[in-house]
Structure 1
Amino acid sequence: MPDKSWFTTVWAREAERPSGRDQPALSRDQIVRAAVELLDAEGLDSLSMRKLAARLGSGATSIYWHVASKDELLELVLDEVYGEVAVPDPAAVGWRDAVAVLAYGLRGALVKHPWAITLVSSRPALGPKSLAANHALLKALELAGFPHTTGDYAAAAVLAYVLGATTPEVAWLNTIGRSEVATEEWLKAMRPQIEIAAADYPDLVCRLTDLQDGDVMAMRHLSFDFGLVALLDGLEARLRQA
């Protein structure tokens, strides 16, 4: 029989070791905040206990007192990102607004911390902040009228939309720069090349002109909002059919 105990989570054991004379001055919160700062500055591949210790001005031993491995550290920073997502009360704001707040909050957190997309897609989110967000999403869909199993499918559809819409946006921002000025400069530089490459498709060239003349950041928000509203309309229609 295969060994099914290969995955262990930091959340299944106590957050801190017992206090004592030998306990390092660093707290786990300090370690996690410094790790997030390092990831924001240099990306996921750059994270190492050695670099993190240097950033904290401490030895690796002080980190390992609170975090047993790099995998545990990744669980902790992922939950820190989820902590930036506003968690509404579905009963107070209604199920559609609750889902929208959570979706926008997750998109915002992932755009701010682009390295987190890989973690969301590759490991369970079992921390208290991520569980609070997921619980609110499921309660909102339950309030809408979805039974448990179908509610799980609806929640998966919402998360799939957020990740599917946000991943290419983050990749775009990382490639050309994370400001509107950088985007405008890229579009201006690409315009002559696109006009040549797309000469047989003048309507596509016109769309590029519209994009250049508009507020690119606002267009990104409107694009996300359009897809999210369409998804919520579809879920509502599904409820009426049921």
Structure 2
Amino acid sequence: MPRETLNRDQIVQAAIELLDAEGVDGLSMRRLGRHLGSAATAMYWHVGSKDKLIALAGDQVWGEVGLPDPDAIGWRDAAAAFAQEWYAMLTRHQWLMPASSSHIIYGTETARRQDHCYRIFETAGFADEELDAAVATLLTFVTGTALEDAAAATTRARIRREGGDEEEGVKEVVAWANGIAMEFPRLRARIEAGAQARITQASTKITFGVGIILDGLQARLGTRAGGTPRP
């Protein structure tokens, strides 16, 4: 595709597709150019650098997270829905977590979601330092939960790039980790009970975890001079 027929949006979307398939290490301007039928120089001309392109791609996928209205459905339901969509986005784009550790990913879409998360907890009644802490608590849980999935996806992408058998490679890693875990009684008990398979389900990790966080935040609101937390 000649440079003059390309635009930044097309390049960013193509980069997201390549990142989804191959991860951050699999993205290069040369590979992206081949994907679009254009020269690598055209990629640089439109987006400047690989780092800038990853930042643009990251901000764009943040735009997939919905903005549930806390005034319409209540702050708890809005926070839970926001967390679910946030986690789902990170699951679809598992390169975003590794990329965020080495790139500054921020833009209009990212800021809009961040601002909306503050709105949700403001509606609940949090303010000042407690507002910051409530937002940070939800952020830490969702991103931490997604990090495990991202690590697995990164491992799979590396095995593919190296020409190995993806499924066999993952089995070897899991067997190695389980071998270590089996030396510890509580971890061994959970593995033998099959809990490891259940706990990796998004519905278990996110719904249960977010519920506990919101229970704690709501209880904190309720301890303020006999105040009644908002729904």
TM range, smaller chain: 0.7 to 0.9
Query: Does structure 2 retain, via aligned residues, the 8 Å contact 1:117–1:167?
Result: yes
- Does the 8 Å contact 2:199/2:205 carry over to 1? no
Structure possessing the higher relative contact order (Cα contacts under 8 Å, 6 or more residues apart): 2
Equivalent in the alignment of 1:233? 215
In 1, the alpha carbon distance for the partners of 2:56 and 2:26 equals 17
Alignment of 1:56-205 (within 5 A): 56-172=36-152, 174-175=154-155, 186=171, 190=175, 194=179, 197-198=182-183, 201=185, 204-205=187-188
2:205 to 223, 232, 235: 223
Per the alignment, do residues 196 and 128 of structure 1 end up closer, same or farther by CA in structure 2, a change over 3 Å counting? closer
Root-mean-square deviation (CA, aligned residues, Å) is 3.2
SS at match of 2:65: coil
Aligned residue pairs, count: 211
Q: Would the alpha carbon gap of residues 239 and 44 (structure 1) be closer, same or farther in structure 2, given more than 3 Å must change? A: same
Distance 1:75 1:132 in 2: 15
One-letter identity of the residue aligned with 1:84: E
Distance 1:60 1:205, change over 3 A: closer
State the partner residue of 2:13. 33
* Offset from partner CA, 1:145-183 (integer Å, 9 cap, x none): 011432122111111111111112332455479xxxx69
8 Å CA contact 2:63–2:109 kept in 1: the answer is yes
Query: How many angstroms does 1:104 deviate by?
Result: 1.3
Checking the alignment, whether the CA contact within 8 Å between 1:87 and 1:136 is kept in structure 2 is yes
Q: Distance in 2 between matches of 1:173 and 1:34?
A: 19
Scaled by the length of structure 2, the TM-score of the pair is: 0.77
- What's the CA shift string for 1:100-126, capped at 9, x where partnerless? 122111211112211100233444443
Give the unaligned 5+ runs of structure 1. 1-21
Identity in percent? 38
Unaligned runs of 5+ in 2: 158-166, 225-231
> Given that residues 12 and 56 in structure 2 are in contact (C-alpha distance below 8 angstroms), is that contact kept between their aligned partners in structure 1?
yes
